[in-house]
Structure 1
Amino acid sequence: MTANKREQRLNDVGITAAVLGGDALKQQQISSLAEIATRVPSLSYASAPNGTPVYTLRGVGFYETSIGAYPSVSIYLDEVPLSFPVLTNHSTFDLERVEILKGPQGTLFGQNSTGGAINYIVAKPTEVFTAGAQATYGRFNQLDLEGFVSGPLSDTLLARFSGRMETADGWQVSDSRHRDRNGRVRNYMGRLQLGYDAGSGLRLLFNANGWKDKSQTQAAQFIALQFQNENLSDPPGQYRNAAVASTPFSALNPRSGDWTSRSVYYDHRIPFADNRLYQLSLRGDLDIGDFGTVTSITAYTDYKMRQGNDTDGLALRSFDAALTVGRIKSFNQELRFANDPGQPVRFVVGGNFSKDSVDQNVFFDYPDSSARIAFDALFGAPIDVLNVRNNQDMRNIAGFSNIEADVAGNLTLKAGVRYTNSRNKAAICQGDPLPPYIYGNLIIAFSEAFGGPGRGTYTPDECASLNLNPATFAPVVNYAPFAALAEYRHILKEDNISWRLGADYKLGGGALVYLNVSKGYKAGSFPTISGSNLAQYNPARQEAVMAYEGGVKTSLLNRRLQANVAAFYYDYSQKQLRTKLNDPIFGQLDVLQNIPKSSVKGAEAELTIRLSPDLTATAAYTYLDATIDRYVGVNAGGDVGIDFSGTEIPYTPKHQASLGMNYERQLGDAITLFAGANVNMRSSTISTPGGRINPSTINDSVTSCVYCIRGYTLVDGQIGIRSTDRRWQAFLWGKNIFNSYYWSNVVSGYDIVTRYAGRPATYGMTFVHHF
């Protein structure tokens, strides 16, 4: 693994980590980080309403649907950062392995790795010609094709080209149109690598990779009707849309869901995607005699998004993110020097520069919501559309150093430090995108009612949020009059010092005992949300994690048993979390805030045992006690001033475990039989602070805990044959074999509460051939 920016044996690295090999990824049909999360206890995945993936590692994560939000678990492709979670899609192909580093990794991997870092290690160009192809056919007419060609182009130049295509029919069944399907897959990925070795200590590796996603985005499941805008209705629900209220709730099975067949923004069904990414990177390594190596990594990433998400799980339009248009341009440069790794004192010193430009424009569509009916009845303003655009320019400069020193025989002392200076310039505007601009003119009326400047009618492209803070009744920005309509503009400047101290001690028999103390930071963030006032766009400030960890790695029973155990405690300050507020105009809305103090206590254990020459078993378990220690806010029921002390942090199951079995048996001289099974378990958690307190909802089947994410167990398996020389293999596979109904997220929008269900049982056959 490469946790210290150089290759080492996993047992020699004094941190907790998990490594999944490329062959295991292929055999288990793992093609996304969401599926990797099911194999690694302590790593959790949640689906956001706009499709942005959210990863939480050991209770440290950042749930935010904006494409321009830095994560708490950073993702790398051969040490090249995929700076935002939305960029990590479709990278899990032609890999040598995946490394999951747990705990703050800020000294070597930068801020935004407070939870940990995940590094995709790509299969590299080979010195001899080799090629391979695989084909998969499965349920829902799934057809996946993948292949690679690798070898020398000259004495000094190597090349590798790999590609993958994924197609499938829709797996979701419409609740209202039983022949309509959603979830069609159309993904195309490719990667070209060129490796150059001049023979004089200079090595270059060029990587051009990209993908195209034209799939249909997942639709939500409608599970509860929520009394929204209760401050505007007496009795509650008097403005409810009768069509929404009479719509049956989604069936409690994986395939159930619903979606809107047409949007007001385009003549197209809402669940769709037309997204693409390309990335160029160049790594150069120059050996300075026997002293060390200078490494330069330069990368540019360009991402375009155009997609629609049905977020209400209805054929109606109660609240849909009907169209999201986005663009990310990211440039990264790292330069470092590392001395000879064979020396008793090993060090690396370097610096990073990154510049990210993120533009996002989300169009919301809600003509069937209670908001439209209420505002029509109360103000003669039947509002049903709006859009929010968020433009950000980020710049980060960092310098880092790390040192390891072998002292006193088997004792190694470690220290690392990184200084980061960051700047984020944001401009956020909520507007009315369609005539007759009912929403825009209503906000003008509110502006005048609150004492804002008098003015005429709303003009196209004008920002329609009020410059006032409802909590203090004071202006939010000083460049616009009080209660005026204005764009939110702000520059967030922050700096921090991440550090790590540790010690590794090797016992007899090769056992490693390690202790680490570290501090990491995640940069502040601006939300992309619907806000009637500018206070809702104030950023969450940078968060920090102070981590204490100790563990043991050991091989026993003549290396038949590998055992790893670790315990840790995190002092978590200013955690960034999407929570709720009661807006004076629209009722309960989202807001991005800092939780002053939280903590995470936990322990992990991993066992790998060779039960016989043919049979290997693995087991892993993670226990987490992740709690909010100090925070007062709004709970899921809309109650204000709630003290959340002692309540759980969202998306942090207390118990997570996995079991695996792999069997191989020689059948004659040419054929090997192999089989494998994986059982993965998660206990329950919640999706919002105070999520075990129910809001006022209607649906008897879920009233026990509307915002709970129920615990679940998934069982996968494979069985097949391969040639003894591994030139070909054919196997049957199944995922979620027992068709467990589970979900990764629960969200609300105006009137409704929805779930995002996991995939149903899938199964198929794969054939692999190497030339």
Structure 2
Amino acid sequence: MIALIAGATSPAFAQDPSSSEQIPESAAGVTEGSVIIVTAQKREESIQDVPIAVTALSSEDLDAQKIEGGSELLRAVPNVSFSKSNFSMYNFSIRGIGTKAISAASDPAVAISFNNTPLVRNRLFESEFFDMARIEVLRGPQGTLYGRNATAGVVNLIPALPTDEFEGSVKAEVGSYSTRRLNGMLNVPLGDTFGVRVAGQWTKRDGFDYNTFTQNRVNGRDLWSTRAIAEWEPSDRFRANVIWQHFEEDDNRSRTGKQLCTRDPGPTMVGTTPVPADLQGRLSQGCLPRSLYDEAAFGAPNASGLAFLVAGNIAIPMGVRPDTFEMVYGMRAGDPFADVAQSRDLREIATSYDPVFRAKNDVFQGNLEFDISDSLRLVSQTAYARDRYYSSQDYNRFLSAPIFNDTTGLVSPLTGEPIDQAHAAPGAIFVDPQLGASDRLLAVDLNRSRNSQWSQEFRLQSSFDGPINFNIGANYLHFKSQDDYFVFNNTFSFIAYNLYNRPVQTYPNYHPCPPDTVGVDCVYVDPNPIGSLDELGHNYFLSRNVVKTESWAIFGEAYWNVAENVKLTAGLRFTKDSKTATPIPSQLLLGGGGELGTSGGSVSAGYPADPEVKQRWSEPTGRLVLDWMPDLSFTDDTLIYASASRGYKGGGTNPPRPNLNPRIVQFQPLPATFEPEYVNAFEIGTKNTFAGGRFTLNATGFYYDYEGYQVSKIVDRISLNENFDATIWGLELEAAWRPSRAFQMDANLGYLRTRLKDGSQSIDVMNRTQGNEDWVLLRPWIQIPSNCIAPRQHVETILNSPLAPFLGLNALGALCGGSKETGTFNPEVDGLRMDQFFGFTYNPLTDAPNGGRGFFADLSGNELPNAPRLTFNVGAQYTVPIDGGDWELTLRGDYYRQSKSFARVYNTEFDRLKGWDNANILIALERPASGLEFQLYVKNVFDKTPITDFFVNSDDTGLTSNIFTLDPRIIGFSVSKSF
């Protein structure tokens, strides 16, 4: 059993390279002389003859290694990492290049294809594999045949097609977390020219995580998929098939994991000046940039300085007590997260809201092949895909203390009449229209997307007997999407009702909203629950992104056999991309105040769109490859190749920031768009076969010159995308040894070095001052989403002023907001001038680095995120005949190891992700003659819970970190029967 540590790339189904008939391999391994056929170059070829670094996994390999979905492919492919991302997609990374840009206008760097059709949006993370012919993972830019969005590589999912035999299979499984899984396949030939194949899969299991507050298991699974294929081959020259695949999920899957934070208490001193306790929170960023592996990381942000809480406890007078005339404010002072101590168990949360998750995906594909002659084939692929996604969960993964003051019995200080309790907090409980009644801080997000795509590709392929052949084609892609991200917070609604919308009879606001109207500075509150929003409300945050992409391309590859064993491949692709984005600014707590308003908004309700942003790129890409198949005495077959290739991925638009009135606040300008990615890649490799096919050894070395790698961070509540240049180089080894039908062993090794180029820089939201003691981090007022830095001397001047107890909080927050009149904060609204009250003038837009956003961090030489230097996988299996060979007992083990890496480009201790490993074992008892098999397996044997990645949330919620982890240990038992 010591040898049973694993992960591997067992071959795909075997096939005579001169025939299109598929010949499945036996479960015991590959016999001498078998050939692994792939379509990496969009034609059937032996994997050992393709001058591309490619790994192929058959359905038998997937089952043996228990690779059930896209997130587990990293266990079989070198230099691959995978993690869920914060919103609706994921980061599949090959050789350090993945999708760290989370904007709706960004594209994946690894092209996910279904039967050679690229899918811009897909459910690779959520769905499970079933009835697959094979999965091919191509490493390196595939800029000719696959084109745009393949700068890192391609994952090609190839389903099993109908055969000319009546056959079927069914498999039932039970396991940990009340797992129930069922899948099956039926292949029915109808006459000599027509066949149908249908397959399906269903999985249901309890949640991997436990919510101690609701006492429910969450992060469960309830999903199913089905596929139907009809194929018609009326003659030797014409073939056609139609494929429909459907995926659906409806459960309580968590989009993100636990939320970690090392609490930032705020400074007690600024320079030589003490900071009063009630102002320390305004100089705290919420969470400190400390390691997520420290015990202190299981805290919660310092919320005493969060603008929406401060507004509630100093700016919203609710009324007076009739007996004492004491003024009561809407919310309690202090930090409602002060006593939070989270469980150290990464699979345990405490929230008042359990996740809701729904996804639905359909792919329709039509394929035509017509042999114009014996050596010329025309191929057409038409595809339509649509995707729907809905995920809602608690924005924080911990509970607050009560935050509202009891408004029962309060009266107006002007009239003495009882205040209206409709939107107050009688009994210290506020009823939010979306989230319901609570005495605590409630925050829930909702991520929703709707998108569709249509694509068409034509290819003309030759197979001449002469030295020159070609593969030429053209394709078109049309993709449109709408991505919505909501954040609901009961304090937002409370502020909208009681700060901006309160009738003058209750208490005189600056500019009161007339009762029952949308007037001077009203902030419209959506009265509907989450399931039936009118989507006009400004009492919640909504980032809406509407993007349309069109892409045209022509491409071609020529193959010239320069000599009997030397081939030159030259490929060129010309791509023309067009992206049209409709910017829709967010409107959180903004009203239509006009010249009199204090909220900084311009409309009371709805989300008016800005003019469309249109971007276009026309890019040539391609590759040049020279491969040589020498006749060596110590190998059966050897391929040596060298290639140069160029890849490209389109840019996009950054989402618009809040629609603030520049009279109130002026932002430092940020780029409205981000640039495309380009990579020039150079690769050398060799593929070798020994001992009649029993041993294969492949090696690859590569160097990338990368331009414009796209990385996102949250700035002003939106995903700001930045571009970085980098160099990448590495090595890969893949080996498979099958000395007999009884024993086989596989291994792969990836070594990777990445480096951001000199001059790379970015503002780290976790460290805006970069250690400069002359500058101080501050929290702004509610209209400004992001923290800022301000001169220490000005902060000390305010703190030392006798006006500090009265104006200090407003004055400190005002240092973050630039305005048209230098030296003011919210002029014409507050009527307060820095020079009048504190003796200095200051405009952050001109007087602070980067408009007060912070100092650049020097990133020169830093590693790319999610780029572990070492990935390693080894697997072995041994088959023992039983009962004279009627039964076979197979023992298999897989072991995977990934070294440390970083989650962000800043490479600080906060960013460090520890290395992790994963072990799996399998025992299978099979009777080949009857197609009966029993399996017992354990995934994640040692129940490891590594942090695979994390995401930093926005400034105005405290800079908490959402983490992502592996699935826990799962023990399963299955029975399958084929016929």
Q: TM-score range by the shorter chain?
A: 0.7 to 0.9
In structure 2, relative to structure 1, the CA distance for the partners of 1:626 and 1:312 (3 Å cut) is farther
Q: 2:550 aligns with which of 378, 395, 398?
A: 395
**Structure 1 position 744, deviation (Å):** 1.9
**Quick one: distance in 2 between partners of 1:728 and 1:746?**
43
Match of residue 647, structure 1, among 862, 874, 882: 862
Match of 1:155 in 2: 192
Secondary structure, aligned partner of 1:243: coil
Could you tell me how far apart the structure 1 residues matched to 2:933 and 2:510 are?
A: 68
Query: How far is 1:87 from its partner?
Result: 6.5
In terms of mean alpha carbon deviation, does 554-563 or 272-281 score higher? Answer: 554-563
Equivalent in the alignment of 2:698? 564
Map of 1:514 onto structure 2: 641
Single out whichever of 24-33 and 656-665 deviates more from structure 2: 24-33
User: For residue 335 of structure 2, what is the amino acid of its counterpart?
Assistant: A
- Using the size of structure 1 for normalisation, the TM-score is 0.86
Q: Deviations over 1:521-560 (max 9, x none)?
A: 0111334586567955722221101000001111234533
Q: Deviations over 1:369-425 (max 9, x none)?
A: 9x989x989999999721011111110000000011112221011110100001000
Deviation, 1:308, is 1.1
| Alignment of structure 1 residues 272-351 onto 2, 5 Å | 272-315=356-399, 322-340=445-463, 343-351=466-474
User: Once the two structures are superposed, what CA deviation does each residue of 1:286-321 show, in whole Å capped at 9, x if it has no partner?
Assistant: 001223100000011111222214453234598966
Match of 1:715 in 2: 919
The answer to which of 120-129 and 638-647 deviates more is 638-647
Query: What residue in structure 1 maps to residue 772 of structure 2?
Result: none
1:459 maps to a residue whose letter is: S
CA contact (8 A) 2:945 2:966 kept: yes
- Report the CA distance shift for 1:320/1:17 in structure 2 as closer, same or farther (over 3 A): farther
Alignment check: 8 A CA contact 2:162 2:195 kept: yes
Distance 2:140 2:722 in 1: 23
Deviation of 1:755 after TM superposition, in Å, equals: 1.2
Superposed CA deviations along residues 116-152 of structure 1, whole A, max 9, x for unmatched, are 0111111111101001011111100111100011021
Return closer, same or farther for 1:260/1:719 CA change in 2, 3 Å cut-off: same
Change (3 A) 1:229 1:36: farther
Q: Which runs of 5+ in 1 are unaligned?
A: 262-268, 450-455, 464-485, 693-704
2:79 paired with 1:42: yes
The aligned residue for residue 534 of structure 2 is none
Work out whether residues 332 and 353 of structure 1, in 8 Å CA contact, stay in contact via their aligned partners in 2: yes
| Cα offsets for 1:708-744 (capped at 9, x unmatched) | 2221000011012101336111110111110112122
Q: What letter is aligned with 2:966?
A: G
Aligned partner of 2:709 among 546, 560, 575:
575
Aligned twin of 1:478: none
1:458 and 2:603 equivalent?
A: yes
Counterpart of 2:563, as a letter, is A
- Structure with the bigger RCO (C-alpha within 8 Å, sep 6+) is 2
Match of 2:339 in 1: 246
Judged with a 3 Å threshold, the aligned counterparts in structure 2 of structure 1 residues 84 and 320 are, in CA distance, closer, same or farther, namely: farther
Partner of 1:671: 887
Deviation digits for residues 666-721 of structure 1 (CA, Å, limit 9, x no counterpart):
112310011111101111112112141xxxxxxxxxxxx33322210000110121
Residue 324 of structure 1: how far off its partner (Å):
2.4
Query: What is the letter of the counterpart of residue 107 of structure 2?
Result: Y
- The 3-state SS of whatever aligns with 2:78 is coil
Change (3 A) 1:610 1:592: same
Return closer, same or farther for 1:306/1:215 CA change in 2, 3 Å cut-off. same
Match of 2:173 in 1: 136
CA contact (8 A) 1:401 1:417 kept: yes
CA-atom RMSD, angstroms? 3.0
Rg bigger for which structure?
2
TM-aligned CA deviation for residue 187 of structure 1: 0.5
Q: Is contact 1:124-1:193 (8 Å) kept?
A: yes
Partner of 1:55: 92
On the 8 A contact 1:669/1:724 being kept in 2, the answer is no
Tell me the matched-pair count. 709
1: CA distance, partners of 2:764 / 2:235: 63
Q: Deviations over 1:67-126 (max 9, x none)?
A: 553200001111122122546742621101110000000100111000001111111111
Cα distance in 2, alignment partners of residues 318 and 574 from structure 1: 41
Q: Are the structure 2 counterparts of residues 385 and 227 from structure 1 closer, same or farther at C-alpha, using a change threshold of 3 Å?
A: farther
Distance 1:442 1:422 in 2: 41
Q: What's the secondary structure of 2:895's corresponding residue?
A: strand
Task: Work out whether 1:204 is the aligned partner of 2:236.
Answer: no
Does the C-alpha gap of structure 1 residues 708 and 109 become closer, same or farther in structure 2, counting only changes over 3 Å?
Answer: same
Q: Which amino acid aligns with 2:687?
A: K
Shift of 1:609: 1.7
Show the 5 A alignment for 1:617-636: 617-629=745-757, 630-635=759-764
Conservation of the 8 A alpha-carbon contact between 1:531 and 1:537: no
Alignment match, 1:697: none
Amino acid at match of 1:387: L
- 1:119-268 alignment runs, 5 A limit: 119-177=156-214, 179-199=215-235, 201-218=237-254, 219-225=256-262, 227=264, 234-236=282-284, 237=302, 238-239=304-305, 242-253=335-346, 255-261=347-353
CA contact (8 A) 2:70 2:124 kept: no
Partner of 2:742: 614
**TM-aligned CA deviation for residue 336 of structure 1:** 1.1
Alpha-carbon deviations, 1:195-245, whole Å to 9, x = none?
A: 001115111010011111112232421221465999995442542562323
Matched, 1:543 2:677: yes
Q: Specify whether residues 544 and 235 from structure 1 end up closer, same or farther in structure 2 by C-alpha distance, changes over 3 A only.
A: closer
Name the aligned partner's letter for residue 217 of structure 2. R
Aligned counterpart, 1:408? 563
Whether the 8 Å CA contact 2:583–2:656 is kept in 1: the answer is no
TM-score (structure 2 length as normaliser): 0.68
Counterpart of 2:737 in structure 1: which amino acid?
Answer: I
Which moves more between the two structures, 97-106 or 379-388?
379-388
Q: What corresponds to 2:623 in structure 1?
A: 500
Sort the Cα spacing of 1:228 and 1:256 in 2 relative to 1 into closer, same or farther, 3 A: same
Q: Name the residue aligned to 1:438.
A: 589
Q: Which residue matches 2:950?
A: 746
1:678-697 equivalences under 5 Å are 678-692=894-908
Asked if 1 retains the 8 angstrom alpha-carbon contact of 2:88 and 2:389, the reply is no
More strand by share: 1
Which runs of 5 or more structure 2 residues have no equivalent in the other structure?
Answer: 1-37, 268-278, 285-301, 307-333, 401-439, 501-508, 512-520, 524-537, 661-666, 769-854
Kept in 1, the 8 Å contact 2:182–2:202? The answer is: yes
Change (3 A) 1:331 1:274: same
Alignment match, 1:765 = 973
CA distance in 2, matches of 1:172, 1:638: 32
2:80·2:92 contact (CA, 8 Å) conserved in 1? Answer: yes
Partner amino acid, structure 2, of 1:186: D
Q: State the shift of 1:618 in Å.
A: 1.2
| SS in structure 2 of the partner of residue 140 of structure 1 | coil
CA distance in 1, matches of 2:105, 2:343: 32
CA contact (8 A) 1:386 1:439 kept: no
In the alignment, the residues of structure 2 paired with residue 628 and residue 133 of structure 1 have an alpha-carbon distance, to the nearest angstrom, of 50
Secondary structure (helix, strand or coil) at the match of 1:574 reads strand
One-letter code aligned to 1:538: A
Query: CA, structure 1 residues 493+151, in 2 after alignment: closer, same or farther (shift >3 Å)?
Result: same
Give the match's secondary structure for 2:336.
helix
Q: Please name the residue that 2:57 is paired with.
A: 20
- Give yes or no for contact 2:637–2:690 (8 Å, CA) kept in 1: no
Q: Is the 8 A contact 2:484 2:545 kept in 1?
A: yes
Contact 1:133/1:146 (CA < 8 Å) preserved in 2? yes
* Alpha-carbon shift at residue 367 of structure 1 (Å): 4.7
Is the counterpart of residue 524 in structure 1 residue 617 in structure 2?
Answer: no
What corresponds to 2:135 in structure 1?
A: 98
After superposition, the Cα gap between the structure-2 partners of 1:680 and 1:229, relative to the gap in structure 1 and judged at 3 Å, is same
Q: CA deviation at 1:50?
A: 2.1
What secondary structure does 1:25 align onto? helix
